[in-house]
Structure 1
Amino acid sequence: MAMMLASSARARRSAHEEVTIGHCIRQAAGGKPWLEKTLWGLRDQEAGWIGAEVANSNGTHDLGPLQINSWWVGKIAQRLRQPPQNVHQWLRYDACFNAAAARWIFLSGISVTHDYWKAIGVYHSPTEWRQTQYAASVANHLRRRYGLGIFRPPEVPH
């Protein structure tokens, strides 16, 4: 019985966390449906959680729901004129800060590459072959979440 109660509490906490993350993704997208879908694709790919700090083999860590690499902490801290330790904590524990950082990283990638899928890849890695694999995986997550029509242009009413 105790195991069932613990499992139920975890499921409720997880469901509440997903609602929170969803709210933060919508907020970060700023009313742009294409950006909201993109952030959901990144979220589904990364599958992080509030409080996450996952070690990588290169000594960095992936932080929070959208698994922002700790390599970004210094850049974000400098841009916001905040201490790096604050940014690190916010990326881990503040889902809305994490989603806003993911938005900034992705949109920065677009401004540099001028290519949606390249920017998706850059979100993950500076290495081209990893970018390609990552973008393909995010595309699969987008198809699963939104259906095969996700990549078709919207129909224009006559």
Structure 2
Amino acid sequence: MIRPLVLIAPIIAGIVSLTTPARASTSDTEVADCLYAAAAVHHVPATLLYAILGVEGGRLGAVSQNTNGSVDIGPMQVNDLWLPQLMMHWSASREAAFLALRDSVCANFEAGAWILSKGFAETGDYWDAVARYHSHSGVEKARYLQRILERFEAMERARRASPTTIASR
């Protein structure tokens, strides 16, 4: 009976987050719990989400302007071009989806995991899906994938130094 609860909890958290204002801080435990729940729901490796999170470098409440006029939102830096699809995915208004991405770590991770799972469904390859998380352009995909691989190397060094890191959970 625990498995269905694990799958439903992130959905409930996402729904609640659409109506809950941002908090000043998010605990490391909540961040880890949300990341692992999002990975489980969308059947993507948590280590890939963690690597994307590390490379993207976003933070809760942040909106970053891109040179092409789009914006990246929250910890996973989800591009606002995904908003129409996320509105349908969450059955939410554009404003509610935007606020959830910006202000809820769980909603932001769920969106990132969902985007990654869509990329995997399209390509059948996690590395290509990770590269597509950032861009569909060949050159940009290659640069991003190199940054992800460097992040993985850093995560592996940290794991060897301390077996209780989030990446080894």
State the TM bucket, normalised to the shorter chain.
0.7 to 0.9
Q: Which residue of 1 aligns with 2:53?
A: 43
Distance in 1 (CA, whole Å) between partners of 2:89 and 2:43 is 26
CA distances 1:13-58 after superposition (whole Å, capped 9, x unpaired): 9985544322211111228997110100000000111101000011
Q: Which residue of 2 aligns with 1:67?
A: 77
Q: Which residue of 1 aligns with 2:3?
A: none
Q: Which amino acid aligns with 2:99?
A: Q
The answer for unaligned runs of 5 or more in structure 1 is: 1-12, 151-158
Distance in 2 (CA, whole Å) between partners of 1:141 and 1:15 is 25
1:29 corresponds to which of 33, 36, 39: 39
Residues 21 and 65, structure 1, Cα contact 8 Å, conserved in 2: no
TM-score, structure 1 as length reference: 0.78
2:92 corresponds to which of 82, 90, 98: 82
Distance in 2 (CA, whole Å) between partners of 1:32 and 1:145 is 22
Matched, 1:140 2:150: yes
Q: Alignment RMSD, CA only? A: 2.6
Percent identity reads 25
Distance in 2 (CA, whole Å) between partners of 1:38 and 1:108 is 14
Residues 92 and 98, structure 1, Cα contact 8 Å, conserved in 2: yes
Compared CA separation, residues 120 and 24, structure 1 to 2 (3 A): same
Residues 17 and 50, structure 1, Cα contact 8 Å, conserved in 2: no
Q: Which residue of 2 aligns with 1:129?
A: 139
Quote the offset at 1:146 in angstroms.
2.2
Answer with 1 or 2: which has the greater Rg: 1
| Aligned residue pairs, count | 138
> Higher relative contact order at CA 8 Å, sep ≥6: structure 1 or structure 2?
2
Residues 66 and 99, structure 1, Cα contact 8 Å, conserved in 2: yes
User: Secondary structure, in 3 states, of the residue corresponding to 2:87?
Assistant: helix
User: Secondary structure, in 3 states, of the residue corresponding to 1:109?
Assistant: helix
Distance in 2 (CA, whole Å) between partners of 1:100 and 1:109 is 14
